[in-house]
Copies of this chain bind each other. A is one copy, B any other.
Amino acid sequence: MMKFSGWGDPAKAYDLSTRPYLWDFVRSQIGLENKLDPPGPRPEDIAVPEPRRDDALLAQLTHALGAEKICTDAPTRLLHAYGKSYRDLLRARAGHVPRPPDLVLFPTSRADLEAILAAAVEHRAQVVPFGGGTNICGGVEPDPSRPGVALTVSLRRMNRLLALDPVARTARIEAGALGPELEAALNAQGFSLGHFPDSFEFSTLGGWLATRSAGMQSDAYGKIENMVVSLTLCTPRGTLVTARVPRSSTGPDLAQLAVGSEGTLGIIAEAEMRIHPVGMREHRGLLVPGFERGIALARALVQGGALPTTTRISNPQETALSFATKSPAQGLAATTAKVFKSYLRHVKKFPLDDACLMIVGFEAASAGELAAQRRATLRVCREFGAVDLGTGVGAKWFAGRYDYPYLRDTVMDRGGMADVTETSATWDVLPGLYRDVKERVHAHLRRGEFPGYVGCHLSHSYPDGACLYFTFAAARERGRELAQYLETKQLIFEILLRHGATLSHHHAVGYELLPWMPRHLGATGVELLRGAKHAVDPLNLCNPGKLIPGDTPALADYWPPALVNRRPPA
């Protein structure tokens, strides 16, 4: 399990000592000193409320599952109380955990899941599926407004590779497999799923499916919804097993109804996924002269058929952060860097202040294919004035690609607010959308000489558009931490809606986006979702309060009505 009040491996922290430039950069952006806040309570000192008891339910579950799959102890309940959103971490650090699950269950089979749902129906318990707990939109906490017992169902003991077909290149995998677990099992047979979200080390296949996740290689292999051949969804009204076929015209694709359902229709037990042979990889860094140029470059790559496996372009502020995390160069390396920078500025007339770091990743079956991909990509990059920095920068990015979430803890430890929001829009919309978010969030976060941090990278490209991934940070407003955060999020969501962009490209809805979902989906869209849910979960037991507007009063607990209902920022 991850830390309770922070990201990732309890033994790991973001190391400032090897990054001497980093905090100066942070200070220059958000005016925060490198000084630790007093620590909050340790997990073992947090007062976890007694679990609500339902002896008949417990007896039925014990009979069906066996006692060894049922946990009622406070530490386990605490660890399954929250995901990892900024709000979750604020509450965890304050030791504020008023509604943890009452029971945490560890099923090992589809039959166990069916038994859990049957017991939940009989005893009217809410059921919250829990994979790795990395969710950052309020998707894995019990609905505090519901009476009765809250069952959190950890899928972590369902983590096996069940079958692999090398002819069809498909693998049947249980939903609770963590990224590294399933990749190791597939790699052992020469295959990979090719799904590497930032949360890869701590998130599960089921979580990816439930949230329509995207990974660093999704440009090549698709988002998780594009990799599903079939899936098994256990609902209170029975289990759905969709046909294992490549395509179908037998009505709407029900697997696509389950993907993204965030536990509101039931629990995903397993899925048959498309896999592909492990190939050779290479990552390179480039500098692109300006972010809007970068957007145009990404579009040229994907529309020209030369899109690499990974194409990631950071805006200048994120690029500056990235270079600020470097270890200091010494001796010849430092001299070379200085000369190269001077060459760029004076000979190439490269606008270094607008420099955008671009990472491209290739994957191919052979060195020849890899070279062909590289050639095609770099040719387009050069046409847009991008300068190749080589594989060193790429390798460094690759090595540290899962580390950024740790940096949020480092900033929070020192009194900062830091979080992310991501969207997608069509190419015609992206430049104006980017400018609008950038300018208006800066205007919102700026404090005197400190502009606030609004990083952005283009993370996924499609023929018709791309995903923009924003990171924002500021010094925390003491005493109104949550309001500060929600106001920033609200500002961004309003801008997204105004531009016709989506509220989320790959992080999902949970409680976080719920107030904006009626406007995003429209009333008919909401009714369709509710209709599907009520068909299989008429008692609204499955992850209540998430995703689907109108199913719970719990929203007011998350989003103060005064904030949601106030006049949208002009």
Binding site for B on A (CB under 8 A): 165, 167-170, 211-214, 223, 225, 229, 233, 235, 237-254, 256-262, 265, 274, 276, 299, 303, 423-429, 460, 462-467, 500-509, 513, 517, 520-525, 527-536, 547-548
Contacts and interface: CB of A to CB of B under 8 A. Distances in A.
Contacts of A254: 521, 525, 528-529
Contact of A536 (B252, B465, B531, B548): B531
A320 to B, nearest CB: 28
B239 A524 contact: yes
A467 B464 CA distance: 27
A535 B526 CA distance: 9
Contact of A245 (B500, B530, B536): B500
B248 A502 contact: yes
A169 B424 contact: no
B525 A535 contact: no
A527 B252 contact: no
Contacts of A256: 252-253, 256-257
A527 B503 CA distance: 29
Contact of A167 (B428, B460, B533): B428
B249 A504 contact: yes
A502 B238 contact: no
Contacts of A500: 243-245
A273 to B, nearest CB: 10
Contacts of A531: 531-536
B464 A251 contact: no
Contacts of A276: 463
Max chain B C-beta neighbours (<10 A), residue from A256, A262, A265, A460: A256
Contacts of A245: 423-426, 465, 500-502, 505
A399 to B, nearest CB: 27
A247 to B, nearest CB: 5
A521 B428 contact: no
Nearest to A467: B247
Given A245-B502, A256-B252, A424-B247, A240 B525 contact: yes
Max chain B C-beta neighbours (<10 A), residue from A521, A527, A531: A531
Contacts of A258: 252
Contacts of A462: 246-247
B243 A211 contact: no
Nearest to A537: B531
A521 B249 contact: no
Given A502-B245, A528-B532, A513 B250 contact: yes
Given A225-B253, A256-B253, A241 B522 contact: yes
Max chain B C-beta neighbours (<10 A), residue from A223, A249, A256, A513: A249
Nearest to A212: B249
13 contacts: A165-B428, A167-B426, A168-B426, A212-B247, A229-B464, A240-B522, A240-B524, A245-B500, A247-B462, A247-B505, A250-B508, A251-B547, A527-B536
A212 B248 contact: yes
A243 B520 contact: yes
A291 to B, nearest CB: 17
Nearest to A240: B524
A238 B522 contact: yes
Contacts of A169: 303, 427, 463-464
A441 to B, nearest CB: 20
A248 B168 contact: no
A253 B251 CA distance: 14
A376 B536 CA distance: 48
Contacts of A547: 251
B252 A257 contact: yes
Contacts of A259: 252-253
A529 B248 contact: no
A530 B257 CA distance: 13
A38 B87 CA distance: 79
A178 B374 CA distance: 41
Contacts of A504: 248-250
